[in-house]
Amino acid sequence: MSQQDSQVWFITGSSRGLGRALVNAALAAGDRVVATARRPESLAEDFAAYGDRVLPLALDVTSADAARAAVEAAVAHFGRIDVLVNNAGYANVSPIETTDDDDFRAQFETNFWGVYHVTKAALPTLRRQGAGTVVQFSSVGGRVGGSPGIASYQAAKFAVDGFSRVLAAETAPFGVRVMVVEPSGFATDWAGASMTVHAVPDAYEATVGAMNRLMRQNTAGAAGDPDRAAEIVVRTVHGGDVPGHLLLGVNAVTMALDYSRRQLAEATAWEEVSRSADFGEPYPVRLPTGKPE
């Protein structure tokens, strides 16, 4: 593949996990990569064999100025950005009741505002090009929710999904595609070195404590292969049309389908009650629980 035919990827959180796997997969496909991380020193050494096909850049995604500078450096080096991947993120564990406010905000700064800053910085380039793909790494928890102990992380992922749906509607006329990736558990250090587990009070042992043990003390390890996931994302981007949401992993598919079925059943059960809120609709109506209206 010639450089003219190859695509330029801009990937946040490239130093480990799915981000690093994506750098490898994109390079293996013959593409070029802007690999960003808070401390990119190791990236320059690890990918030195690829020469100028890789541009390692320092980037703190919580800084709008840093995001703009990184995008400018990427365009100055490669001339364009074809695929923007917002992958940087982390989660800490603690119940909502006892979570430190600063910790909750700090997670949200990376997991949502980081996506906002980097996306916004890249939009003028994508719009001028009249083409591009934005890949937002979320989580199946960002669709299903309800995982005790990681409220900030999941709230941010729900926000990323809402943000990305609007982004897709606004940028479609410019030829920009948006895909939200929703993985389940993968064999990365997301639940390892990247995660701080705060003290879990006894009252939350059955919920937050149980979730913590499930994530961090499962001797079988996570089922997801990050290299396969990265290859799937690269193949999907290269393949033409991209889905609005891409589930990755057996658990992700199972949880999402179960959630959608329960959503549909609940909406159907409460349909008459919901419709009755409008002028002109029959009112009052009986609640589906059989209690008097």
Distance CA(191)–CA(274), nearest Å, equals 40
The verdict on whether 291 is a catalytic residue reads no
Q: How far apart are CA 7 and CA 10, in angstroms?
A: 10
Calpha distance 100→116 (Å, rounded)? 23
Q: Amino acid identity of 4?
A: Q
Q: Which two tokens stand for residue 188?
A: 């990365």
Closest by CA to 135, choosing from 198, 180, 100, is: 180
Cα separation, 134 vs 138, whole angstroms: 12
83, 85, 173, 80: which is closest to 129 by C-alpha? 80
Instruction: Categorise residue 290: left if φ over 0, alpha if ψ from -120 to 50, beta otherwise.
Output: left
Q: Kindly name the residue from 153, 164, 184, 204 that is annotated as catalytic.
A: 153
Q: For this structure, is 138 an active site residue?
A: yes
The catalytically annotated residue of 6, 14, 15, 138 is 138
How many CA within 13 A on the CB side of residue 76? 7
Element (H, E) at 254: helix 250-269
From the list 113, 111, 23, 125, the residue with the least C-alpha distance to 74 is: 125
Contact 139, 154 (CB under 8 A): yes
Retrieve residue 81's tokens.
Answer: 């950005």
Given the residues 94, 157, 184, 204, the one annotated as active site: 157
**Has 157 been annotated as catalytic?**
yes
Question: Which active-site residues does the annotation give?
Answer: 138, 153, 157
